[in-house]
Structure 1
Amino acid sequence: MEPIPETSEAVDEFGPFEPDLLERLQDKARHVRELVPACVGLSLASREHGVTFTVVATDEEIAALDGAQYLDSGPCVESVKAEQVLEYTADDFFQESSWQLFALSTAAAGISSTLTLPILKEAQVVGSVNLYAASPQAFTGHHEGIAEIFHAWAPAAVANADLGFATRGTAQQAPQILREVTRIKVAVGVLVESQGLTLEAAEQQLSQAARRAGVSEAALAERIISGSAYAEREEE
């Protein structure tokens, strides 16, 4: 699997957040594919950075998977034969519920099942991993194995919550999110230097000022940075 362009951009421009993040993510994806050959994508969400990174199957991998569907008369083929969307029942998944039915109605092309697992570190949830597959029961029986790959918690696994592959859209926002985070940090630095504040006090001041002004912290940060640059030019 390969990273989507925005994931590569986010890591290249603002990383590395962790050593060899992309390489390790792709390595984990390879291990997942060994367990679940029908897996066509996965998204790793970082709670610390507030962003999501996504890798997806290449065109060649998708073509090979499509070929396997035709050879094996898989779900995509059966759906075409019936000229209708196949119905998913409680037997297909853990339990039928309203969010699953909604997910099915907005499913992304080629996504027939998903698996979401929380990632733990010292008993604290630090992120999550969402996996996407092109066959309905691809992840059945593999929760523990996948959890081991990502140091996730298998008992909290949720099936088919994101058949629309929404995390890919979230991952596409990563560069902008990280750009704003970077500018906020610069603005906090300006406040620390110009007003003699501690880092914590400067962060709090920026947050409170933005809230009172009814603007985002990122927008206020840009004003602070612009004002500081103007003041420096005036002094020259």
Structure 2
Amino acid sequence: MIDWLLETASLREFLQHLIDDALGATGADGCGVTLQRRQRPLTVVSTGGVADKLDEKQYGQDDGPCLQALRTGEVVHVPDVLEETRWGSYPRFAAGLGIRSSLSLPIPARTHTAGALNFYAADPGAFSEGDRRTLALIAAQAGGGIALAQRLADAEEFTRDLQTALASRSVVDQAIGSVMQQQQCTAEEAFDLLRRLSQETNLKLRDVCTRLLTGIAGRPPAERPPLQPRP
């Protein structure tokens, strides 16, 4: 799964590959992945044509098997929508689109349910117990992919923050050296002078140091080169 995720251009592409393969392994006619974004459900990928319409119907009425799986973290199996009494007008809507059965599986995350994997079929009773076990494993793969993608995004953000911190430190160190040379003072005294100037001008310390060095050299100070990943 890790190799598959790293070979795809985005999490969306990874999930699309996942559900395309899952659809071929079942008797389902449509499949979609619902994720929670900014406290709202969203179908991020789908296949089979009918999944988007069924998901949107559930989002619109804020109820349905997909949302129940997302909110409870439990598998929701609907053997036949014509015998279903839950979720208001949704069962009739699904039947009107030619869908008779569905299976919604929670996508697990480390501390919560990240989303739901939803399968829809034209035949009643389309999902056997074996299908449900297989698709539960696929939902777990989706959760693992989402968690890994988040970790990669967190690592990239950390690297950017570290690069910014190192660049700021480099500029401040250069400014301290210049003040020490001009004022014949210690590094601590030079830093205190720069810090007071930052407070008096209401500018960030790095901006004060950059202005000082630019005024002395006639050009902006050189920064550390960006961090490079290990080969």
TM-score using structure 1 length: 0.36
The structure with more radius of gyration: 2
TM-score (norm 2): 0.37
